[in-house]
A and B are shown apart, each in its own frame.
Chain A
Amino acid sequence: MGHYVPHTDDEIAAMLADIGLSSLDELFDVVPAALRLAGGLNLAQGVSEPDVIAEMERLADRNRVGADLVCFAGAGAYDHEVPSATRRLTMRTEFVTAYTPYQPEVAQGVLQALFEYQTMVGRLSGLAVANASLYDGASAMVEAVNLAAAATRRATVWVSGGVHPHWRATLATFAAGTGHQVVDVPLRDGVTDWAAVPDGEAPGAIVVANPNYLGVIEDLGPARAAADRHHALLLGGFDPVSAGLLRSPGDDGADVAFGEGQPFGTPLSLGGPYLGLFACRLEHVRRLPGRLVGRTVDVESRAAYVTTLRAREQDIRREKASSNVCTNQTLIAVAAMIQLSWLGTGGLRELALRCARGTRYTREALLSIPGVSPFTRGAVLREFAVHVPIDPVVAVDRMAEEGFLAGVPVGLHAGVTVGPGDEAGERGLLVAVTERRTKAEIDAYAAALEKVVR
């Protein structure tokens, strides 16, 4: 169809004449004949826009969402409210259809929004410098490890078994290229047992998540002590919603903080695009991955914003760069800035508090079901795991028939958290409760779970 190529036939003929050609095919004379696709692509013909929408609605209707599948799943992807103001402002096409701000004179909108975002991430993390976003929580953790390995010139990384299994899996994938040696540190009673690390090379990085994957609040003190002992950097994973109540990783001694920013203004969306939060101490700014916006002035001494310390980045350092990040998640960062402004100082605390209240209420309701027991000890805030008397994967499937996304099946293998498909000595159900869940929904959920696990 070619809906979006505006040229008329007459215009094409005139343009071809201007460049001395007589057909569009001649444009491709530089492609050797043997390589040219003879019959064209084996794809359907284009269709009209209403037909596209109809097809996409057909696909969308095959997914079960919203009131049809009330969400009690989390595991790094949370069903928070996205208010109208955030939704509408994030759809502004000046943000949506802009490129990376290479020309700051015509990109002050995106640059200032990112500057405000960086300020907010700095405050959430309790660290001096935040970048303009990475792809997701996993990539933020991988980049944190790369920074620490470069700063300490050591390849060994201790990673808490309470870090998200998908994030640890991503780290393992990229370690095949960087050569990092990842040592998993087991959980005991739901929190990382730093005394259980086997003997070996001294680590350059120590990675912990708070709250951890099982929802348990971790004390960063022992991890910081281990980092001090080995002159390693402490990389603190954090949930930015919980930060409304909990101390920030920077307050507890983290050198680098990383996290998943999806809870602020981004819908679940099958897991992407999400938002990698990344912040570090000032002393590491020259190794900061990705883009960084700085405030400066223009020729008339007016406040202006620009991407800065560009010499860190891949297009300048090329093979000497410690990160290859170019395209990031700017629009999602802008959404987070808007959402955090909409929440405001009081609203962020209120959000965390409401999640904690719903979590307390739900946990008590589930633990009153015969056969359901705690998976961990230790305080939780917005998420918790329980043992259920049947296979948690089966429980989730049965609960879907009852209209609930019951949670995410979780396992522990040698003290390390794993996903439902992995070998595990112990299995449970990870349940998250956001500010959107009402008492009526939670009561119905608990009643349904009692029925399906009986």
Chain B
Amino acid sequence: MTDSIRATAGAPQHGSMDGTRLGDVTGAQGHRPAPAGRATSIPMIGRDSEPTIFEMSSPGRHAHSFRTTGLPEWAAEDLVPSEHLRAAPLALTEVSERDLVAHVTRLTHRQYSVDLGAYPLGSCTMKYNPKLCDDVAALPGLTGSHPAAPASCTQGWMEMLCDLSDTLCEVTGMHAATLQPPAGAAGELTGLLLMRAFHSANGSTRTKVIIPDSAHGTNPASVTLGGYQTVTVPSDDRGLVDIDALRARLDTDVAGIMLTNPNTLGLFEEDIAEIAAAVHEIGGLLYYDGANLNAILGVTRPGDMGFDIVHMNLHKTFAVPHGGGGPGAGPVAVSERLAQYLPGPVPCREADGSFSWRTPEHSIGRVHSWHGNALALARAWSYIVANGGDGLRRVAEGAVLNANWLRHALRGAYDLPYDRPNMHEFVASTASLKKDKGLRAIDVGKRLLEEGFHAPTVYFPLIVDEALMIEPTETESPQTLAALADALIDIAAGTEEAWKAAPRTTPVGRVDEARAARTLVPTWDARDGFS
């Protein structure tokens, strides 16, 4: 173990509880350093189960109130033909506003979040979400715009979207972009349809798309929906695309390749220029899955590597909060030869400085009801303006520094199947610990919850046995990292009894997932279960 950062971290100004240096491992409750300067949660409150909103209902009670309109109070029967009317009011619940607020607030006490502590989920880039962006997304001038309003009434929005689009092109080294895709997977499918439109315009009917065996699950699913067959290329001993195996798969039936760079092992695909040349040589296109873009901001660009199509996850790289699973935003940027196929309409800057909506000449069509997840785009734009070009480079540096430091810190405690310089994340494994002592990756995750951290991504990528995919992000301090490292080391040194009992301090203990699937209860109305 190296400990120079711990010496820095333990400097007196950080005020540890009993003089213990930050990062010291004692294992005992009450001897842990004070939480100041690091992001971990104390055991959560919210241990009492919360009734459903339906159980709280009392007939006749309500929270709603409506604007006084002065309109005639026609009866429903006078407004809608009786054959269309429902027989009885649709039952929701009947609660007071006070009880509703208490219910939802108690639910929030049963929920972990970035604002509560570190969230080292690999490939998810759970960085801190600046509160600034929340205020931006609540500006009445942004929330009040109807999406079908004439362009003359939404010039501010369109200026912002143009600037964001241009900036995303600069960051990725691309020529033009669409902001419509509402999530990463939607961006992938949009990109594959662009690939299809390009080949089809060139009279080619290619059938296959290559993806590495370490790819995110959305990649092969998107390939299928894009009308292509997935061809998998294996990773080599370095954890990178096996270039000989790739060459063996390249023929004129190949429409393109989807790559994540750095890949899901957190490793930079060093041969990317050679890969790009080989794929372009057979007339294929390169698709960049932007899930891991955080690692390379201001350092290198997909366009410079030879990619033709790029999707970005603004809810990862550009700090749009994940909202418990969404909404995100998955813009797609392309090189010049693909720009004519982009979904439309796109916001355009006219010669007189005004903004208008235009649809590219050979557009594949819409991929969203309107213009994408606009408020998420506004959050990302405010984050980019705050950071600037210099700040974005700093983001990548912080992310890569944190991930490499943490990998070093875990040496000796966990298997590191690819123990070489990584980018923003790395993959550890409990394969040896499982063999020797029965410690599984899932147990590490559950024990970490007890220590006030979220779990890493477990069992992914699929090519690593008992994988722990760890992405600390740049917003966690060295003190947080040291505490996370200590917790992980502590867990590895623990006992099977403690591993299997975890988590004990969370709102509920381990959840019976098999029962949930066997006896399906998807709604309160089906509370007795479908089986």
Let me know if A19 and B510 touch, CB within 8 A: no
Bound Cα distance A46, B368 (Å) = 31
| Contact across chains for A94 and B273 when beta carbons are under 8 A apart | no
On whether the beta carbons of A105 and B507 are closer than 8 Å, the reply is yes
Chain A CB within 8 A of B112 CB: yes
Contact B301 A11 (CB under 8 A): no
Q: Identify which of A31, A66, A361 gathers the most chain B CB atoms within 10 Å of its CB.
A: A31
Chain A residues with CB under 8 Å of B4's CB are 14, 17-18
A97:B322 contact, CB within 8 angstroms: yes
Of A103, A248, A315, which contacts B112 at CB under 8 A? A103
In the assembled complex, the Cα of A283 lies from the Cα of B305 at a distance in Å of: 47
Question: With A41-B389, A76-B369, A397-B152 in contact, is A130–B71 under 8 Å at CB?
Answer: no
Contact in complex: A31, B90 (CB < 8 Å): no
What is the CB-to-nearest-CB distance from A47 to chain B, in angstroms, rounded to a whole number? 6
Contact A57 B516 (CB under 8 A): no
The count of residues in chain B whose C-beta lies closer than 8 Å to any C-beta of chain A is 219
In the complex, which residues of chain A have a beta carbon less than 8 angstroms from the beta carbon of B423? 30
28 A–B contacts, CB within 8 A, in A order: A37-B304, A41-B393, A62-B156, A65-B145, A85-B63, A88-B101, A100-B322, A105-B510, A108-B107, A115-B523, A123-B90, A132-B325, A135-B186, A136-B182, A173-B343, A217-B81, A245-B85, A269-B147, A296-B511, A296-B512, A314-B218, A316-B217, A324-B221, A332-B323, A338-B100, A341-B92, A348-B92, A360-B79
Report the Cα distance A18→B405, complex, angstroms.
Answer: 7
Q: How near does chain B come to A290, taking the closest CB pair, in angstroms?
A: 10
Q: Does B395 contact A (CB under 8 A)?
A: yes
Closest to B452 in A: A106
Closest residue of chain B to A430 (Cβ to Cβ) is B148
Given the known interface contacts A52-B132, A130-B522, A324-B189, the answer about A268 and B147 at a Cβ–Cβ threshold of 8 Å is yes
Q: In the assembled complex, how far is the CB of residue B287 from the closest CB belonging to chain A, in whole angstroms?
A: 14
Beyond A3-B386, A3-B391, A326-B184, whether A129 also contacts B225 by CB under 8 A is no
How many Å lie between the Cα of A83 and that of B114 in the bound state?
Answer: 26
Query: Are A318 and B107 touching (Cβ within 8 A)?
Result: no
Structural contact, B326 and A270, CB atoms closer than 8 A? no
A176→B197 contact, CB < 8 A: yes
Q: Which 9 A-B pairs have the closest CB atoms?
A: A271-B370, A60-B141, A65-B144, A62-B156, A271-B147, A109-B111, A46-B388, A331-B323, A315-B217
Most buried by A among B376, B387, B402: B387
Residue in A85, A139, A243, A319 whose beta carbon sits within 8 Å of that of B220 in the complex: A319
CB pair B300 A31 closer than 8 Å: yes
Map CB proximity to B onto A250-291 as digits: 1 under 8 Å, 0 otherwise: 010000000010000001111111100000001001000001
Nearest residue (CB) in B for A100 is: B325
Partner of B8, one of A14, A52, A77, A350: A14
Taking the nearest CB of chain B, how far is it from the CB of A271, in angstroms? Answer: 2
Is A122 on the interface with B (CB-CB < 8 A)? yes
* Min CB–CB distance B283 → chain A (angstroms): 20
Given A101-B324, A308-B520, A269 and B183 contact (CB-CB distance below 8 Å)? no
- The distance from the CB of A24 to the nearest CB of chain B, in whole angstroms, is 5
* B523:A129 contact, CB within 8 angstroms: yes
CB-CB under 8 A from A129, the residues of chain B are 522-523
Q: How many residues of A contact B (CB 8 A)?
A: 213
Chain B: which residue is nearest A5 at the CB level? B398
Tell me, in angstroms, the Cα distance from A115 to B132 when the chains sit together: 31
Closest to A6 in B: B477
Tell me if B150 is interfacial: C-beta within 8 Å of chain A: yes
- Closest approach, in angstroms, between the C-beta of B354 and any C-beta of chain A? 11
Given the complex, which residues of B lie within 8 Å of A59, measured CB to CB? 141-142, 156-157, 159-160
Complex Cα distance, B384 from A342, in Å, reads 36
User: A28 — which chain B residues lie within 8 A by C-beta?
Assistant: 299-300, 400
Interchain CB contact under 8 A, B104 and A338: yes
Contact between B182 and A314, CB atoms less than 8 A apart: no
Q: What 1/0 flags go to B199-242 for Cβ under 8 Å of A?
A: 00000000000000000111011111111011000000000000
> Which residues of chain A are within 8 angstroms of B524 by Cβ–Cβ distance?
115-116, 119
List, in ascending order, chain A residues with CB within 8 A of B108's CB.
Answer: 92, 94-95, 109
A16: Cβ under 8 A from any B Cβ: yes
Interface pair B365/A170, CB less than 8 Å apart: yes
**A181 proximal to B (CB < 8 A):** no
Check B325–A101 contact: CB distance below 8 A: yes
Contact of B401 among A27, A96, A102 (CB under 8 A): A27
Contact A60 B142 (CB under 8 A): yes
Q: Cβ of A411: which chain B residues have Cβ within 8 Å of it?
A: none
B279 beta carbon closer than 8 Å to chain A: no
Contact of B94 among A112, A137, A309, A346 (CB under 8 A): A346
* A273-B376 in contact (CB<8A): yes
CB of B385, distance to nearest CB on chain A (Å): 5
**Closest B-chain residue to A311, C-beta based?**
B517
Closest chain B CB from A241 CB (angstroms) = 11
Q: How far is the CA of A48 from the CA of B446 in the complex (A)?
A: 39
How does the 8 Å CB contact mask read for B70-107 relative to A, with 1 for contact and 0 for none? 11111010011101111001111111010011011101
Tell me if A99 and B322 are in contact (CB < 8 A). Answer: yes
B446 and A105 form a contact (CB under 8 A): yes
* A296-B515 contact in complex given A40-B298, A268-B146, C-beta closer than 8 Å: yes
Does A73 belong to the interface (CB within 8 Å)?
yes
For A92, what are the chain B residues with a Cβ–Cβ distance below 8 Å?
Answer: 104-105, 108
Contact B392 A135 (CB under 8 A): no
Is the CB of B64 closer than 8 A to any CB of chain A? Answer: yes
Residue of B nearest to A381 (CB): B80
Within 8 A of A (CB), among B285-302: 296-301
Q: Answer whether residue A29 sits at the interface, using C-beta atoms and an 8 A cutoff.
A: yes
Contacts of B149 in A (CB 8 A): 64, 69, 73, 400, 405
A residues in contact with B90, CB < 8 Å: 123-124, 243-244, 248, 345, 348-349
List the B side residues contacting A361 at CB < 8 Å.
Answer: 71-72
| Chain A 61-88 near chain B by CB (<8 Å), digits 1 or 0 | 1111110010101011101010101001
Q: Does B338 make an interface contact (CB < 8 A)? A: no
CB distance from B526 to the nearest CB of A (A): 7
